[in-house]
Structure 1
Amino acid sequence: MTINKSIVYYGLVVWGALCMQSHAVEQPNIVVIVADDLGYGDIGCYGSETIKTPHIDALAANGLRFTDFHSNGAVCSPTRASLMTGRYPHRTGVTSVITAHKHRHAGLALEETTIAEVVKSAGYRTALFGKWHLGYQPKYNPVHQGFDEYIGFVAGNVDFHAHLDQVGEEDWWKQDQLCPEEGYTTDLITKHGIEFIERNQNQPFLLFLTHEAPHYPYQGRNDPVQYVPGKGLVGSPKGTPETYKEMIEVMDDDIGRIVQTLEDCGLSEKTLIFFCSDNGPAGLGSAGGLRGKKSHVWEGGHRVPGIAYWPGTIEAGRISDEIVMGADLFPTIADLANAPLPEGVTRDGVNLLPHITEGTSLESRPMFWANWRGMAVRQGRYKLVTKPKRFEDPELYDLESDPAEKLNIASEHPEKVEELLKQLKSWHYEVTDGVKKIL
C-alpha cells in the first residue's frame, strides 16, 4: 500500500500545533552527535588512558553516562536506519552496509517515517551534517526524509580531504546536489553545525552531527589525500595509532566548539545533547575488553559509548546501567518535542526521557542483533549468540559476571538456552515477514 506522506504529515502538523498550544513548557533543542566506528574503550570516560577526550568526558561528568548502551546494528547503515526510524533495521530492509561498490541504487524507503519528519510536525527546524549512508541517489537524500538542511557525504566513508568515496566518486552534498567544499571532514561538519545553531537560536531545532571519525581512511588534519585511482581509499591498512588518536581528539575538540556555541547563544539549559557511536571499533579501535569488534554480534560489535547531557535537567555525574539501544532515541526525541508518533507503525524503541531526567527504571525487555556473522538476543543478564540464519551452535553468556563473553555456559543452563532461542526465532520471523530487503 502506498502511503500519501503529505496527507499524513498535514495531520501531524495540525496535531503538533495543538500540542504546542497546550504545553506551557518550552520545547528543548536536541543535538545528536554520532561517532563512526568509535569503540567502547576509545574515549577517556570509558577507560582510555591514551586518547584524550576532555570535552566528551565533560559531557559525561556533567550529565548521564550509560554503561550498557547498544547500537542496533554492528555496522553503519543498519544502525542509522534504526536511529532514523526507531525500528529494528530488519523491519526497514536495511540489514547490511549500503556500499559504494554495489548498492548505489539502494536506500532507506521513503515510506519509512523518520524522526526528523515527526519533529517537524511540532515546529522544529531540522538539519543533518555529515554521514548519511542510507542511500546514494538524490531521491534518498536527507532533505527528502524530513531534514530541512543537509551538507555532507552519503557513502559509508570518504577521503577526509578530497571527499571522494571508495570508488572515486565525488561525494560532498549540499541538500540533494553535489557541492564540493574544501576542508577536513570533521571540521566541516562542526562548522555547519555551529552556523545552524546560530541561525536557529530563536526556534526549536533537531540537529544531527554524524561524524566520519574515526572511520578509515585514517587521516589527520594535515595528512595527504589517500585516494589512489584504481585502488580506492588506501587508508584502511595504513593507519597508525597516532593518527587514530588524533582523529578522535580532533572530533572531541570540535564537540567542545559545539557545546561552547550553545553556551554563547544562551541555549545550554534549553538543549539536550546525546552522544554515541554507530557500532563497535574497526582494526585500530578498542572495545574496552569486550569480545569482538565492528560487524560482530558479541558485545564489542554493538555495545558503545552513550552520553546524555542537559544542564539543569539531568543530574551531573549520573551513571546508568540500564540496557538501552539506539532505536530508543526516536520516541525519546518525539516526547521532548511534544510531537505525536505516527499510528499503525511498529516501533521497537522505548521512551528514555523519564529515565534520563528522573532516574525512572526501565522495564526488562529482550534486545536482538542479526547479520551475516551471527545472531544474538539479550534478556537481562543473559545473552544467547548463534550462527546466522539457522540458529546453530547456541552460546550462552552471563554478562553480569562475564561481560567479555569468555565463558560459554550453555551446557549448564539448557532451559535458558531454549527460552532465549525461542525468543530469537520469534523475533527473526516477525521482523523479516513480508519485508523487502533493499540490498
Structure 2
Amino acid sequence: MKKIILLISFVFVLSCIKKEDATNLPPNIVLIMADDLGYGDIQPYGSTTIHTPNLEFLASEGIKFTDFHSNGAVCSPTRAALMTGKYQQRTGVEGVITAKSHRDVGLNLNEITIAEELKKHGYNCGMFGKWHLGYSKEYNPTLQGFDDYTGFVSGNIDYHAHIDQEGYLDWWKGTKIENEEGYSTDLITQYGVKYIEKNNPKNTAKPFFLYLPHEAPHGPYQRRIDSILRTVGKAGTKPISKNSIPSVYKEMVEVMDEGIGKIIQVLKETKQYENTIIVFLSDNGANRFGSNGVLKGHKGGVYEGGSRVPAIFSYPDKVKKGMINNQIVLTMDLLPTFLDFIDQKPSSTHIDGISIKENLIHQTNLPERDVFFAYGNNSFVRSGDWKLVYKKNKNGDKIELYNLSNDLQETNDVSLINPDLVKKLSNKLQLWKKEVKAGVRLVSK
C-alpha cells in the first residue's frame, strides 16, 4: 500500500513540475498580417460596414496603435523589414518582387530573419500564408528559419485555384509545389490552428512562433463561393464587376476575422492564450477599394493612407487591457521587441528597429527618433508631429510639410512658412537615403 501511495505522490509531483514548466515557458508569438487592409477597414478603427468582432475583442484585450506604420507602402518591402528588423533599403528589397519580372531574386540568405533569431533561443517556427520575398525554391521560408511552411510565394493568388498573376501554380508545402483544395484564407487559418494544437505544451517543451500572413483582402476579389479567375499557363485574371467588389471585400475581411477567432479559441483550449503574444497588423494601406478612414492617399503613396495601418498587440500576462498607443511605431520594431520579451538582443548590429517592450508594459514614452520612408521617387521623414514629404516627378521636385498633430488629413502644406524646418528635415532625409544606400546588399543572383 505504501508503494502505491508513493507512486501516486511521485506521479503527482511530476505532473506539477510539468505544469509549472509549461507556464514558465517564454511567451508564444502569433503574428498575423493582413494584406492591403486599410486604417478604416475594421471595427476597432471605426468601420461600421465591415464586422470584425474578433479583432474588436483582441483590441479590448490589449493595445491598439494609432500611429503604427508599415515600413513600405507595398508588400515586399514591408515584409523584408519585418523579417530583418531593418529598413528594407538595407536588404535590397526596395520594391515589389513581381511575378512577371523578378522570379529569380529574393531576400538575401545572409540576412538574419526573425524566425532564425527565435530559433536560436529554442522556438519552433511555423509560417502559413504569403511569403513574397522570393519565388524560387532557394528563397523558401524553410531555408530562412521556418521549420514548417505551407502557402504561396507570390504577391497574390487565385483564392481557390492558387495560381499567381502570371499563370504559375503557387501553393507550396516546404520547398515543393503541392496544391490542395480550399479557399486560401481558410487554409491559412486551418494550418495555424493545427500548428498551435501540435505545439501544445503537452506535446513539446518549446515555445512557438507562428507567422500567419494572410492574402485577404488583396485582390483578386473572391468569396468562398466564387468561381476560379485564373488558369495555369495563362497570365491575367478574369474580370469581375466592380460594383460587386465592396460586398466581396467585406466578406473577405470578415472571413479573415472569423479565422482569427479560431486562432484565439485554440490558444484558449490549449491553455496557452495568457502566455501568447498576438500581434495583428497590415502590410500597407488600402487601395481604392478599401478604406483608410480619414487618412489621405492609398497603398503605394507617401501620404498617411499608404503607410499608417491598423495594428493590435495582445499579451494577457503582461499588457494591460484596452490601452491606446499613440507612439510612432514601425513594422521593423517587432523583431527587437519580440526578442526583448525573452530578454535577448538581435544578433545583427545593424538593426534599425527599436524594442517597444517597456512602452507596451509600462506606457513609457519611446525615445525620440526620426523615422523615414521611401518608395520609388517619393519619400518622407517624420520628426515628432512634423512630416516632410518629398515627391519627384517629370515636372520637378516637390516638397510639402505637414503638422500631423492638427492636420492628420495632410490638407495644409506649411512648407512655405517654415523654410528653416524644411531645410533641416530635407537634409536629414537626404543623409538617410545615402546612409541606407551604402548599406544595401543587392538581392541574390
After superposition, the Cα gap between the structure-2 partners of 1:365 and 1:434, relative to the gap in structure 1 and judged at 3 Å, is closer
Q: Compared with structure 1, are the counterparts of its residues 37 and 401 closer, same or farther at alpha carbon in structure 2 (3 Å cutoff)?
A: same
Cα distance in 1 for partners of 2:343, 2:194 equals 25
Moved more, 425-434 or 232-241: 232-241
| Alignment RMSD (CA, Å) | 1.7
Answer whether contact 2:29 2:208 (CA < 8 A) is retained: yes
Structure 1 residues 426 and 155, CA, compared in 2 at 3 Å: closer, same or farther? same
1:381 matched to 2:380? The reply is: no
Q: CA deviation at 1:338?
A: 3.6
Deviation at 1:392, TM superposition (A): 2.5
1:113 CA drift (Å): 0.4
What is the CA–CA distance in structure 2 between the aligned matches of 1:25 and 1:351, rounded to whole Å? 22
- Separation (CA, whole Å) in 2 of partners of 1:234 and 1:91: 37
Q: Per-residue CA shift, 1:187-227, capped at 9, x if unaligned?
A: 00000001000111222000100000000000011111111
Contact preservation (8 Å) 1:151, 1:174: yes
CA contact (8 A) 1:331 1:351 kept: yes
The amino acid that maps onto 2:356 is L
Deviation at 1:141, TM superposition (A): 0.3
Partner SS for 1:87? coil
- In 2, the alpha carbon distance for the partners of 1:76 and 1:236 equals 23
Native 8 Å contact 2:70 2:307 kept in 1: yes
Q: Which residue of 1 aligns with 2:37?
A: 38
Query: What secondary structure, in the 3-state scheme, does the structure 1 residue paired with 2:317 have?
Result: coil
Relative to structure 1, the CA distance from residue 235 to residue 149 in structure 2 (aligned partners, 3 Å threshold; closer, same or farther) is farther
Counterpart-to-counterpart distance in 2, 1:47 and 1:237: 27
Asked if the contact 2:90–2:439 (Cα under 8 Å) also holds between the matched residues in 1, the reply is no
Q: Secondary structure at the match of 2:407?
A: coil
> Which secondary structure state, in structure 2, belongs to the residue aligned with residue 396 of structure 1?
strand
Change in CA separation of 1:309 and 1:198 when aligned onto 2, cut-off 3 Å: same
What is the identity, as a one-letter code, of the residue corresponding to 2:113? T
- Match of 1:355, as an amino acid? N
Structure number, greater radius of gyration: 2
- 2:315 is matched with which residue: 301, 310, 313? 310
Equivalent residue number for residue 351 of structure 1: 355
2:438 corresponds to: 433
Contact kept in structure 1, 2:380 and 2:429, CA below 8 Å: yes
- Structure 2 length normalisation: TM-score? 0.90
2:415 maps to what in 1? 410
Specify the alignment match of 1:251 in structure 2: 256
Match of 1:88 in 2: 87
Equivalent of residue 233 in structure 1, options 234, 237, 242 = 237
Please tell me whether the aligned partners of residues 171 and 177 of structure 2 are also in contact (alpha carbons under 8 angstroms). yes
Tell me whether 128-137 or 369-378 shows the greater mean CA deviation.
Answer: 369-378
Once the two structures are aligned, what percentage of the paired residues are identical? 49
* Partner Cα distance (1:331, 1:189) in 2: 26
2:214 is matched with which residue?
211
Matches within 5 A, 1:6-21: none
Q: Which residue, 394, 412, 415 being the options, matches 2:399?
A: 394
Give secondary structure in 1 for the equivalent of 2:44: helix
Following TM superposition, by how much is the alpha carbon of 1:438 offset from its aligned partner in structure 2, in angstroms? Answer: 3.3
Q: Secondary structure of the equivalent of 1:233?
A: coil
Taking the aligned partners of 2:346 and 2:33, their CA distance within structure 1 comes to 23
Identify unmatched segments of 5+ residues in structure 1. Answer: 1-23
Give the equivalent residue in structure 2 for 1:369. 373
Q: Displacement of 1:234 after TM fit?
A: 3.5
Q: Residues 235 and 111 from structure 1, CA distance in 2 versus in 1: closer, same or farther, beyond 3 angstroms?
A: farther
Seen in structure 2, the aligned counterparts of structure 1 residues 370 and 235 have a Cα distance that, compared at 3 Å, is farther
SS in structure 2 opposite 1:378?
Answer: strand
d(CA) in 2 for partners of 1:385, 1:278: 21
Find the aligned partners of 1:407 and 1:147 in 2 and give their Cα distance: 46
Please tell me whether the aligned partners of residues 392 and 398 of structure 2 are also in contact (alpha carbons under 8 angstroms): no
Letter paired with 1:179: E
1:57-76 matches, cutoff 5 A: 57-76=56-75
2:295 matched to 1:290? yes
| TM-aligned CA distance change 1:234 to 1:338, over 3 Å | farther
Question: 1:198 is matched by which residue type in structure 2?
Answer: E
Matched residue SS, 2:66:
strand
Give the AA of the match of 1:432: K
Report deviation, 1:74. 0.2
Shift of 1:314: 1.2
| Aligned-residue offset at 1:237 | 7.2
> Contact between 2:336 and 2:345, CA under 8 Å: does it hold in 1?
no
Provide, for residues 313-357 of structure 1, a one-character-per-residue CA deviation record: whole Å limited to 9, x for no partner.
Answer: 2111100100101000010111223444214x3111110111112
Deviations 1:51-100 (A, max 9, x none): 00000011111110000000000000000000000000100000000000
Native 8 Å contact 1:366 1:377 kept in 2 = yes
Is the counterpart of residue 185 in structure 1 residue 184 in structure 2?
A: yes
Per-residue CA distance 1:161-196 (angstroms, 9 max, x = gap): 000000110100001111111100000000000100
| CA distance 1:122–1:338, change in 2 (3 Å) | farther
Cα distance change of structure 1 residues 146 and 156 upon mapping to structure 2, 3 Å threshold = same
Aligned to 1:20: none
Whole-Å separation in 2 of the counterparts to 1:264 and 1:420: 51
Residue range with higher mean Cα deviation, 363-372 or 152-161: 363-372
> Alpha-carbon deviation of 1:307?
0.3
Give the C-alpha shift of residue 436 in structure 1.
Answer: 4.0
Separation (CA, whole Å) in 1 of partners of 2:229 and 2:83: 31
